[in-house]
Amino acid sequence: MTSGTTPGLTRFNTSSDSEAVAALHEVCSSSAWGSKLLAQRPYSTAEALFLASDAAMAELTAEDLAEAMAGHPPIGRPKAGDPTSSREQSGMSGASAELKAEMLELNLAYQDKFGHVFLICATGRTGEQMRDAVRERIGNAPETEREIVRTELGKINRIRLTRLVETPEEES
């Protein structure tokens, strides 16, 4: 991961508040998380931004986490036209119809139990690994699962923030 100043970090630091809020919302749907990161601009390094993200994530309430999770599609069903969710869930793209059907069933059972989408940092995981994770986590107590979700969301945010600060000017 990049830890110094990059053109993307400079662009983020110098963008208008409305542009920065929009960029942060693409990373995480929690307005509390975004507000905390926005308030600390400018960042001297990407690592400073990542640490601020981690600190903001640790402070999110259950309601803030629910808002953040609402921005994530179920595993196996990335948002249409959203290259980020398609890229992050690419481990499901080659999954068999049987595995996709099983994930749908597990996602629904998970949502019934916890009231929100199953959230996992899917980057680099196979469909089978994601299925195994939901099978394992569905037995968790709600409080335990909320903290696992917080950790997974933090991982996703770091990946997305890395893309934000490393994106060349012409791709922004």
- Locate 50 and state its tokens: 């990542």
- H or E segment to which residue 17 belongs: helix 17-27
- H or E segment to which residue 160 belongs: helix 142-166
What's the pLDDT at 1?
42
Q: Which domains does the chain have, with CATH numbers?
A: 7-166 (1.10.3330.10)
What's the pLDDT at 90?
67
Cα 35 from chain centre: 16
* pLDDT tens digits, 73-91: 777 666 666 666 656 666 7
* pLDDT tens digits, 110-135: 999 999 989 999 888 998 999 999 99
Is the preceding omega at residue 42 within 30 degrees of 0, hence cis? yes
Taking residues 46-65, report their average pLDDT: 96
- Locate 107 and state its tokens: 């996602």
Q: Please report, as a single letter, which amino acid is at residue 131.
A: R
Q: Please report, as a single letter, which amino acid is at residue 125.
A: R
Q: From CA 83, how far away is CA 111, in angstroms rounded?
A: 24
